[in-house]
Amino acid sequence: MSTNATIDQWELWHHGVRLADTTRTERIRVLQQFAAEAGIDPTYAQPLDIVRWYASHPEWTKSTHYTYHSYLVTWFKWLQLQDIRTDDPMIKVGKIKQPKRQPRPVADEHLLQLLRTNMHHRTRVMILLATLAGLRCIEIAAFRGENVDLPRGRMLIMGKGGGEKWVPIHPILATTAETMPARGWWFPSNRTRPGQHITRKSVSQSVGDAFRRAAIPGSAHPLRHWYATTLLEDGADIRVVQELMRHGSIHSTQGYAGVTDLRMRTAIEKLDLYRAIA
């Protein structure tokens, strides 16, 4: 709980509507950061307080700015719904256009180099779950032995917002599953969080450390990008990829279906200066 009773009520509301823990903790963290840096109670923030806070962070990427802005929009709408405020300062702040995000798949040769690098077995399993099933860090952290159904050749993914999805399991993952616990967390936490799974941050750090040891650029999420772009490049139907990626909208999947560097390079190399005499 925070020292602000209204923020505590907002946290309870997140629990009540069963939003993901990561969504709840990130929204509250950003709101508390805003309160501390702006030196005000965010319940009574005015448009000028908000834009000055934005201006104090020129280091933010467009994506970060958009995300933090969306958190404040949600906060002030909630205050209105709770009859705590009658006005919405975000109306005067204005809208921020969502930046177009480009997929950043790890390069094929870098993936090979990563897999050839010595690492802990459980780190390798994390990498395989991201690469061969497209799991996000939080989904990897919370993966359980019961989520694997080897007789039916499938695995259960607990996705965003508590959604569940059975998907076919890759043969390599099926073999890997035999080396992991059949019941309980695949990645249990240490003594500081007994009985719980590790955090999303722990997965990100473990995979990131493996990339650094392999001396290649990358992190956990580009492995998920590799999963989507490779499926599409190899001819999988975009609706199939949407289901495998657990995207709520096909527009999210279409972002992975752009023209690849290889296809652009092939097109450029076909240009012929002497086509007139060919």
For residues 31 and 70, give the distance between their C-alpha atoms in angstroms, rounded to a whole number: 11
Q: Who contacts 19 (Cβ-Cβ below 8 Å, separation ≥6)?
A: 161
- Told to judge if 52 belongs to the known catalytic residues of this protein, a careful annotator would answer no
- Told to judge if 69 belongs to the known catalytic residues of this protein, a careful annotator would answer no
Strand partners, 94: none
- Told to judge if 100 belongs to the known catalytic residues of this protein, a careful annotator would answer no
- Told to judge if 101 belongs to the known catalytic residues of this protein, a careful annotator would answer no
Token output for 19: 């939003």
Contact (CB, 8 A) for 105 and 213? no
Task: Please provide the size of the chain in residues.
Answer: 278
For residues 111 and 219, give the distance between their C-alpha atoms in angstroms, rounded to a whole number: 11
Residue with tokens 């994506």: 63
For residues 13 and 24, give the distance between their C-alpha atoms in angstroms, rounded to a whole number: 9
Catalytic residue, chosen from 65, 160, 165, 170, is 160
Q: CA 99 → CA 90, 124, 246, distances in Å?
A: 19, 33, 21
- Told to judge if 256 belongs to the known catalytic residues of this protein, a careful annotator would answer yes
Token output for 271: 């240009």
Catalytic residue, chosen from 14, 136, 197, 200, is 136
Distance of CA 115 to the CA centre of its chain: 22
Catalytic residue, chosen from 224, 225, 227, 246, is 224
Q: So which residues are the catalytic ones? A: 136, 160, 221, 224, 247, 256
